[in-house]
Amino acid sequence: MTKHYQFLEPYTFTNGVTVKNRIVIPPMTEASSLEDGSISKDELDYFATHTGGAGIFVAPVANVSVDGKGFEGQLSITDDRFLPGLTKMASTMKNNGTKAILQIFHAGRMSSTAILRGTQPVSASAIPAPRPNAETPRELTSEEVQKIVDDFGQATRRAIQAGFDGIELHGANTYLMQQFFSPHSNRRTDKWGGDVNGRMTFALEIIKSVRAAINEYATKPFIVGYRISPEEVEEPGIRLEDTLQFIDVLADQPIDYLHISMGYAWRTSLNNKEDKEPIIFKIKEKVAGRKPLISVGSIQTPAEAEKVITSGIDFVALGRQFLREPRWVQKVELGQEESIRYTISDAELEELGINNAFYNFLKMLGADMNFVGEVHKDNFSKELGSIEGNY
> Catalytic site residues?
175
Give yes or no for a contact between 224 and 214, defined as CB atoms under 8 angstroms apart: yes
SS3 label, residue 219: coil
Give yes or no for a contact between 312 and 22, defined as CB atoms under 8 angstroms apart: no
Residues 6+ apart with CB under 8 A from 315: 11, 22, 23, 24, 55, 56, 257, 292, 293, 294, 295
Q: How far apart are CA 113 and CA 184, in angstroms?
A: 21
Number of C-alpha atoms within 13 angstroms, CB side, residue 60? 27
Strands 223-228 and 166-171: parallel
Give yes or no for a contact between 56 and 101, defined as CB atoms under 8 angstroms apart: yes
Q: How far apart are CA 61 and CA 30, in angstroms?
A: 10
Q: Among 122, 148, 126, which Cα is nearest to 202's?
A: 148
What's the chain's Rg over C-alpha atoms? 19
Alpha carbon 324 to chain centroid, angstroms: 19
- Please give the backbone phi and psi of residue 260, each rounded to the nearest 5 degrees, phi first: -95, 110
Element (H, E) at 99: strand 99-105
Give yes or no for a contact between 63 and 33, defined as CB atoms under 8 angstroms apart: no
